[in-house]
Amino acid sequence: MNTLVEIDQLKTVLHASDEPIRAVDGLSLKIASGETFALLGESGCGKSMTALSIMRLLPDVGEIISGQIRIKGVDLLQLPEFAMRSIRGKRISMIFQEPMLSLNPVMTIAEQIHEVLTQHGRLSHSAAQQRIVELLEQVGIPDAEHRMHEYPFQFSGGMKQRAMIAIALAGEPELLIADEPTTALDVTIQAQVLDLLRQIQQRNHMAILLITHDLGVVAEMAQQVGVMYAGEIVEMANREDFFNHPAHPYTQQLFASLPEKHKRNHALAVIQGAVPSLAQTFSGCRFADRCQQAMVVCHENIPQWHSITDDHQVRCHLYDSKNQHTERSAVINDSIIFGAPDKNAGIETMTPVSPLLRVTDLKVHFPIRKGLFKRIVGHVCAVDGVSLQISAGKTLALVGESGCGKTTIGKSILQLIQPTAGSILFKNQELTSLSRSQLQKIRSQFQIIFQDPFSSLNPRMRIRETLLEGMNALRVTPLSDTHNEQEIDTLLQRVGLPIEVKWRFPHEFSGGQRQRIAIARALAVNPELLICDEPTSALDVSVQAQILNLLKSLQDNLGIAFLFITHNIAVVEYLADEVAVMYLGRVVEQGQVDEIMDTPKHPYTQALLSSVPKIKQDRVIPLIRLKGDLPSPVAPPSGCHFHPRCPRAMPICRETYPAISTFSNSHTTHCFLYSQES
């Protein structure tokens, strides 16, 4: 193996409290040239801090106290800072998890890429401009020649992530550290980005350290896998051994937490508790307090490494020779893997006479103004004639690429965006005709969980104040301070956070923890309809399982309805009752979840489902890679909006928009491949 990067006994501490926090505690790994090494684990396990240690970009309170980080034999920890500047961006580059915090808001995207090219190359101005366009086109930015001169705030969340990837690849690094590089991307763009990373990796023989919580991405990308828990790696294996024979109880429970179709009527397995504080000194296994198979020795002695095969090592007492006869064969039982049976499974509730929410021919068109007098010269057709309905206690999943109008639909239902046309009936009451004061009286009945919790939480308010604000503003009868405190404590516990965090500020939490706070805020006023805009996209699988179980229990016990906006198809299969597939402002296919997942009809739906990374490569639908990007909603294509990218387009598709085609009482699509209704 041609080793490119070798990390040996790396220890990084954070001096953020009275006791040092051992964020990375004795980590060792090797990455070969041209190899992808995936690092898995929950939020707070030290994955991102490992990446920042390699780049030597630790926060002011961070310090590497021991260990070695060698790239082709050169120890980066022995280099002065000025020497590291020539390595960052050229030999080692990084894609950060939150692009909005990493991109410079006062520089255009072109200027930020040009900065890298200037630092590490000697390109002329014209050559640099051409190179910038090439990079942006590679990562799927449409109209790159013009959009390169825009600022980060003018890009969607997914496009900001793609711009961040372009900046990281500008110097053609030997090692690319990718910290959740596809978390903000929908599955079709994710497939393009992963293809791009593979192509660049093969062409440049680049190594990748991939930090992710998506096991499907790991299965498609990685050759080696390391599982990190509480600052140390607890299991290391090649891809085949890892997915076929996960050995550590923590790894097994991560797999058991994955949402899947066959678990739909069961609660997902949840890893109880939280990652322990890294400010303490450990005397036993760090996972012992949460482990389903813990023994007395696990609490008393630190486990050592054990080899299962030459390419598979695990740090666990279950594999000690003295415990093998009783413990090594232990596996997680079915109740852990599949969860306890849902007590409401198989109990059908009566469908109400009228749905809780009925949206009819909804349109949201944003005017484009130009000139001195700001005359309207066109419209952005963000939502263009969408109809859907949700019954009480049911979940409608809304899926589609970034920019297709999913979030706009959610905000317009809540009247956060004024619809251009159409009807929105909530409990048979027309929302579009209500005044602001009338809306205020019923706003507690429908709430939203925003996609980016960092932007939606007030940075100057403690968590207690954030939760209390909505409770006081939307309640007809205020409750006592004691009762409010009890409710706040209950809310935090329900979303998997300890009570004491209510005195902290949003910046003191990880991304996943901030999302849980945002969910608690939405639940604080007991809504009947909850619009969930990518609520689990920032969460690792174990925390995602907690949130999905929470949402399911709320629905079972309180009858809450969900409009679930997501690009995670596994979550759709597990949680949704119905699915609506959107493309460029319109719903192109809609039906029951099994109808859409098992027999997708529209070519776009087929491409969307085929792009989902799978742990087991048993695709029923052939792999379909869409070319190009979503067209601009300012000037949508004539006829069927999907025809420029459709592999099965016909001449009629370019001329007129297809009427509805019906396959069952619930399954419909708009496509000329099927008989049209008059």
Q: Which CA distances in Å does 564 have to 43, 529, 536, 544?
A: 23, 11, 10, 14
Given a contact cutoff of 8 angstroms between Cβ atoms, the answer to whether 43 and 274 are in contact is no
135, two tokens: 């990079």
How confident is the model over 588-602, as pLDDT tens digits? Answer: 999 999 999 999 999
- Single out the residue of 394, 660, 407 nearest to residue 529, CA to CA: 394
CA distance 189 to 140: 8
Percent of the chain whose pLDDT exceeds 90: 55
SS3 601: coil
CB 627 within 8 A of CB 611: no
Residue 467's nearest CA partner among 486, 446, 445, 442 is: 486
pLDDT for position 120: 84
Kindly report, residue by residue over 551-564, the tens digit of the pLDDT. Answer: 888 888 888 999 99
Upper half-sphere CA count for residue 482 (Cβ side, 13 Å): 0
Tell me the per-residue pLDDT of 177-190, one tens digit each, with 9 for 90 and over: 999 887 767 787 77
DSSP summary character for residue 388: E
d(CA 471, CA 150): 39
Q: Are strands 446-449 and 529-533 parallel, antiparallel or unpaired?
A: parallel
Q: What is the pLDDT of residue 378?
A: 84
Cα angle: 176, vertex 50, 172; to 5 degrees: 10
If you write DSSP's letter for every residue of 223-271 in order, what string do you get? Answer: SEEEEEETTEEEEEEEHHHHHH---SHHHHHHHHTS--GGGTTBPPP--
Residue 34 has which token pair?
A: 């041209």
Confidence of residue 537 (pLDDT cuts 50, 70, 90): confident
User: Would you say 233 and 27 are in contact if contact means Cβ atoms under 8 Å apart?
Assistant: yes
Euclidean distance between CA atoms 522 and 531, whole angstroms:
9
pLDDT at 328 over 70: no
Element (H, E) at 513: helix 511-523
Q: Measuring CA to CA, which residue among 362, 392, 383 is closest to residue 563? A: 392
Q: Which two tokens stand for residue 268?
A: 């997902």
Alpha carbon distance 51, 62 (integer Å): 13
- Amino acid at residue number 51: A
Task: Convert the pLDDT of each residue in 378-437 to its tens digit.
Answer: 888 999 999 999 999 999 999 988 778 999 999 999 999 999 999 999 999 999 999 988
- The SS3 assignment for 28 reads strand
Positive or negative, the Cα torsion across 169, 171, 174, 180? Answer: negative
The more confident residue out of 475 and 210 is 210
Q: pTM for the whole thing?
A: 0.82
Residues 6+ apart with CB under 8 A from 443: 414, 474
- How far is CA 407 from its chain centroid? 15
d(CA 403, CA 382): 8
- Rg (Cα) of the chain, in Å, rounded? 26
CA 480, 483, 489, 490 dihedral sign is negative
The pLDDT of residue 344: 43
User: What's the confidence (pLDDT) of residue 185?
Assistant: 72
DSSP-assigned letters across all residues of 533-568: ESTTTTS-HHHHHHHHHHHHHHHHHH--EEEEE-S-
User: Which residues lie across from 396 on neighbouring strands?
Assistant: 563, 578
CA dist list (Å): 346 to 224, 349, 479, 598 = 41, 10, 38, 21
11-52: per-residue pLDDT in tens? 999 998 788 999 999 999 999 999 999 999 887 889 999 999
pLDDT in tens, 238-248: 999 999 999 99
- Do residues 664 and 598 make contact, with C-beta atoms less than 8 angstroms apart? no
Structure token pair of residue 517 = 């706070």
Instruction: State the chain's mean pLDDT as an integer.
Output: 87
pLDDT at 286 > cutoff 80: yes
Contact 630/404 with Cβ under 8 angstroms?
Answer: yes
Residues 217 and 614: their CA atoms lie apart, in Å, by: 8
